[in-house]
Structure 1
Amino acid sequence: MDVAEPVTLKTLAGELGLNVSTVSRVINAEPGTEAKWASPETIRRIQELARQRGYARNPHAASLRTSRSDLVGVIVPRLQDYVLATIYEGIDAAAEARGRVTVVANSLDDPIRQRLRTESLLARRVDGLIFGDAHQESPYLDELAARGVPLTLVSRRRAGHVSVTCDDEAGGRLAAEHLLSTGRRRFAVIAGAEYASTTLDRVGGFLEVLAGHGIGATDVDIHYTGFDAPAGQRAIAEILAGPSRPEAVFAVNDFAAIGAIGALQTLGISVPDDIAVVGYNDTPIAEAVNLTTVRSPMVEMGRLGFEKLLALLDKEEVQSERLAPQFIARSTA
Structure 2
Amino acid sequence: MKDEPIAQRARVRPVTLATVAHHAQVHVSTASRALSDNPAGIGADTVRRVRELAAVLGYRRDVGAAGLRTGSSRLIGVLVPRLTDLVLASIYESIDAAAGAAGYGTVVANTLDDPDHRRVRLDAMLSRRIDGVVIGDSHIGDTAAHELRARGVPYVLVMRKLEGHLSVTTDDYRGGQLAAEHLLELGHHRVGVIAGDQLASTGRERTLGFRRAFESAGYPLPDPYVVESAFSTPSGLLAGSELMRLPDPPTAIFAVHDLLALGAMGAIRDAGKRVGEDVGLIGYNDLDLAATLPVPLTSVRSDLGAMGSLSVDALLGQFRGETPSSVLLPPELVVRATTQHR
Query: Is the Cα contact below 8 Å between 1:72 and 1:100 reproduced in 2?
Result: yes
Cα deviation digits, residues 117-144 of structure 1 (max 9, x gap): 0110111121111111011222232122
The correspondence for 1:331, drawn from 316, 327, 337, is 337
Structure 2 alignment gaps of length 5 or more: 3-8
Structure-2-length-normalised TM-score = 0.89
Query: Aligned residue for 1:322?
Result: 328
**Partner Cα separation in structure 2 for residue 275 and residue 93 of structure 1:** 40
Query: Aligned residue for 2:36?
Result: 28
The correspondence for 2:315, drawn from 309, 318, 321, is 309
The correspondence for 1:201, drawn from 200, 205, 210, is 205
* Residues 78/54 of structure 1: CA separation in 2 closer, same or farther (3 Å cut): closer
Look up the SS of the partner of 1:332 in the other structure: helix
**1:295 and 2:301 equivalent?**
yes
Query: Aligned residue for 1:182?
Result: 186
Query: Aligned residue for 1:41?
Result: 45
Look up the SS of the partner of 2:196 in the other structure: coil
Report how far residue 22 of structure 1 moved: 3.3
Seq. identity, %: 45
Query: Is the Cα contact below 8 Å between 1:72 and 1:103 reproduced in 2?
Result: yes
**Partner Cα separation in structure 1 for residue 189 and residue 281 of structure 2:** 13
**1:120 and 2:128 equivalent?**
no
Look up the SS of the partner of 1:184 in the other structure: coil
Count of paired positions: 329
Structure-1-length-normalised TM-score = 0.91
| Aligned alpha-carbon RMSD (Å) | 2.3
Query: Aligned residue for 1:101?
Result: 105
* Residues 37/198 of structure 1: CA separation in 2 closer, same or farther (3 Å cut): same
Query: Is the Cα contact below 8 Å between 1:186 and 1:220 reproduced in 2?
Result: no
Structure 1 alignment gaps of length 5 or more: none
Query: Aligned residue for 2:5?
Result: none
* Residues 106/53 of structure 1: CA separation in 2 closer, same or farther (3 Å cut): closer
Query: Aligned residue for 2:164?
Result: 160
Report how far residue 181 of structure 1 moved: 0.3
**1:273 and 2:277 equivalent?**
yes
Report how far residue 64 of structure 1 moved: 1.2
**Partner Cα separation in structure 2 for residue 165 and residue 175 of structure 1:** 18
* Residues 183/6 of structure 1: CA separation in 2 closer, same or farther (3 Å cut): closer
**Partner Cα separation in structure 1 for residue 82 and residue 24 of structure 2:** 50
* Residues 274/100 of structure 1: CA separation in 2 closer, same or farther (3 Å cut): same
**Partner Cα separation in structure 2 for residue 68 and residue 149 of structure 1:** 12
**Partner Cα separation in structure 2 for residue 52 and residue 225 of structure 1:** 53
Letter in 2 for 1:308: A
**Partner Cα separation in structure 1 for residue 16 and residue 223 of structure 2:** 72
Query: Aligned residue for 1:142?
Result: 146
